[in-house]
Structure 1
């Protein structure tokens, strides 16, 4: 059964079925490529992570939102991600 849609102040979010937790962590990375393959485990995160299809409310742009529990994981993702 699909997980429900929910919103934050900045995004409308659709959780990935691959999430082990359905939580929006403090360190967010918006990927403005809605069809890019984003695989957070391949970036070796040390903490928990979550992935969402995202609609950014400020400009109506669609993409993906990856959130990380640890700031170092978000930095590693930004450095390594190539769409």
Structure 2
């Protein structure tokens, strides 16, 4: 689970409410094979590499749905940055 959330985030709080089947996509995601550094860059750093990896990943729709459903505020999820997900939330609600 650590490869999907940076240390110190509240991700661990959600684990009791999500069934293992809901998280099956994470094991198949390309980010699970590359590490969190690309997906949780330092503020102001480029997310280009993370988006490139996401663009090749078949799990991208499930990842984005998960991020939106769980209000993930940090990192690149489903090929979208924090700002892009916030914009998406605002335009769909």
TM-score clears 0.5: no
- Greater Cα radius of gyration, structure 1 or 2: 2
Greater strand content: 1
Name the TM-score, length of structure 2 as normaliser: 0.27
Name the TM-score, length of structure 1 as normaliser: 0.29
Higher relative CO (Cα under 8 Å, sequence separation at least 6) belongs to 1
